[in-house]
Amino acid sequence: MTHTKPLVLVDASSYLYRAFYAMPPLTNSQGLPTGAVYGVVNMVRKLLAEQEPAHIAMVFDAKGRTFRDDLYEQYKAHRPRMPDDLSVQIAPLHAIIHAMGLPLLLVDGVEADDVIGTLTCQATELGMSVQIYTGDKDLAQLVNAQVTLINTMNNSVLDPQGVIDKFGIPAERIIDYLALVGDSSDNIPGVPKVGPSTAVKWLKQYGTLDSIIEHAGEVGGKVGENLRAALAQLPIARALLTVKCDVPLDVTPLDLRPRLPDVETLRELYKKLEFKAWLAQTARKPAAPGAVVATETLAVETVTVTVAVYETIVTLTQLDAWLTGLTQVDLICFDIKTTSLDYMQAQIAGIAFALPTAPEGVSAAYIPLAHDCENTPQQLERALVLERLRPLLEDAQRTKLGHDIKFACHVLANHGIRLAGARFDTMLESYLLDSTATRHDLDSLALKYLDGRASSLAQIAGKGVRQLSFHQIAIDLASAHAAEQAALILRLHNVLWPQLSALENLQRLFTHMEMPLAGVLARIERNGVGVDRAMLHRQSAELAARMDELEQQAHVLAGQPFNLGSPLQIQEILYDKLGLPVLQKTPKGQPSTAESVLQELALDYPLPKLILEHRGLSKLKSTYTDSLPEQINPATARVHTCYHQAVTATGRLSSSNPNLQNIPIRSAAGRRIRQAFVAAPGY
């Protein structure tokens, strides 16, 4: 029997996790997280509107152990438990899917992949074609002439040729390929130090995993030793990675017909989750489940949040299409992701662009160029992409928009590109409109002006000492975040610029002073400032000697040794032992040793005066004479600070890394440190 429409199978658990990390952390007015529910349901609504499937199933992972846990005790053992903000969204998502009239499948003891695999095999035997909506590479093993994989996160489609283009091998060898390289996300070990290129080379040479195992003795070098050491675990890895296609199911592909939506239940769910745009649409009577109209806006409380369409650019065809689009717009909005936050060292990890689409819509794309993490898919060559982008970026007649455009100037300069036409910066737009605001980062501005949080970088990169650099983040997660950031910049500009341009004085200040100043500061920062390293070392030694003298004098006055850097010991000496008057107390009721208190005591007592001088010299030594030589850039032999335009409420600049504006000028020691800043010969 021939079926004209394909069976649509949605790997819903995969999309649930992706939506959770890609979407802004939306909540309703009761604090219930809703972002993941919105992301998945929005994808499903668009799928229904575009495909109008005759047969469809939403397949989720069931709770509890599976046969793979029994096969290998360490399977997925390193995965953290599901975040609470995600787990509470599963029940409402299931309820919405049921109310939409869509078949929902959870089967104990197996994973969603196995249910999808079983339905796929059954459907192909019935003569049906199958579309699997997933971001899971493991399911590429199911691809054949009747089966394609669709990833809505990057708009990619994998048919048999697409699998070869992506992995370098046909779909029937995917299991062998994955067994060799392993799968870190599922804690499945492969052959140590064997990556995609080696796995593909072996499979092309020997044909199958069994043949590779049979000829393992022929593989030389360290990689051959690793292969032979891993022989015992390769069959287990293959079994874990093989999608089970004979799961007993209560339904067949032909049973998976969508029903008419339960409109009243949908209304209650949308009302509870405060999906007001969708709630309004339920007042209309839909013709059929597949006829539900996809929307690009979500009303949260009383504010409409525009949802962008994101794309990951990994082919030259995609790149050329976006280049064509960028040449046809009046404003090029971009955002650069880097390997470092040090503007002199940072290299480009990827570039995101955003374009306006239909009214209030945004299309955004991310071009990964230097991501370096396990199982990283093929990326376009960075040098090639930058050369394609150079004419646009260096064209002064093409207006550019960014957020902290000065940083972008530096990073592009590190790759030999001189940015021109930079006329808008949402960070500076926000600063001029409200200079007293404490933060002008995209997350804060999205919350303030767009009434929705941006996706947190910490969610995909971590925090603290274990935080990943952007190029170390998996491309699918990085792409969703980067594209969203570019879309936010464009949307913020569309909100901020009309407000700014309505105020003639502020518009003039922005256009004629702040934006040109950004370029001037970039040149100043890049030039850097020369410092006399030897002079600073001498000054450090002199400061250390003077601090020793002061310490000895203080010990004599105190009648005992004590640590001049310890507020507690200073408190005990001044107030308990010497009985100096208590002029001020801390919030905990202890006598204060704050600088203002010591300055007042120093008018009448010698020890506080010595402590103050010691503190001042210690700060100069640690902040300047010791640290400045360490901050000299080895490539330029100069110090490169960062001047901030959008920090102070008064409009003055501030500097950091290092702060060059707080070197004392009233003290002799401070003036001497200033002498260590020297001009180059002839200047």
Separation CA 536–CA 531 (nearest Å): 8
Q: What phi and psi values does residue 362 have, to the nearest 5 degrees? A: -140, 135
The position carrying tokens 């093993």 is 141
From residue 347, how far is each of 371, 372, 411, 412 by CA, in Å? 11, 13, 6, 8
Structure token pair of residue 289: 């489940």
pLDDT in the model for residue 662? 83
Instruction: Specify the amino acid at residue 29.
Output: S
Residue of 372, 567, 362 whose CA lies nearest to 469: 372
Give the dihedral sign, CA 369/375/377/380: positive
Instruction: Specify the amino acid at residue 6.
Output: P
Cβ atoms of 231 and 180 within 8 Å: the answer is no
Residue of 630, 644, 626, 640 whose CA lies nearest to 342: 640
Cβ atoms of 427 and 644 within 8 Å: the answer is no
pLDDT in the model for residue 287? 35
Instruction: Specify the amino acid at residue 98.
Output: H
pLDDT in the model for residue 130? 94
pLDDT in the model for residue 72? 75
Residue of 620, 640, 622, 623 whose CA lies nearest to 631: 640
Structure token pair of residue 422: 């930079």
Q: What phi and psi values does residue 343 have, to the nearest 5 degrees? A: -65, -20
Query: What does the mean pLDDT of the chain come to?
Result: 87
From residue 161, how far is each of 64, 142, 190, 269, 377 by CA, in Å? 36, 13, 25, 42, 16
Cβ atoms of 326 and 353 within 8 Å: the answer is yes
pLDDT in the model for residue 365? 93
Return averaged pLDDT per consecutive 10 residues of the chain, 683 residues in all.
77 86 76 88 87 91 83 71 87 94 92 93 92 89 93 80 90 90 78 86 89 85 85 86 91 91 91 84 46 32 43 91 91 95 94 79 89 84 96 96 97 96 96 88 85 69 82 88 92 94 94 96 95 95 95 95 93 93 88 91 93 92 93 93 92 90 85 92 89
Instruction: Specify the amino acid at residue 414.
Output: N
Residue of 168, 156, 124, 165 whose CA lies nearest to 142: 124
pLDDT in the model for residue 306? 41
Which DSSP string do the residues of 514-561 spell out, in sequence order?
Answer: IHHHHHHHHHHHHH-BEE-HHHHHHHHHHHHHHHHHHHHHHHHHHTS-
DSSP structure class, residue 125: H
pLDDT in the model for residue 297? 33
Residue 527, CA atoms < 13 Å, CB-side half-sphere: 10
pLDDT in the model for residue 216? 83
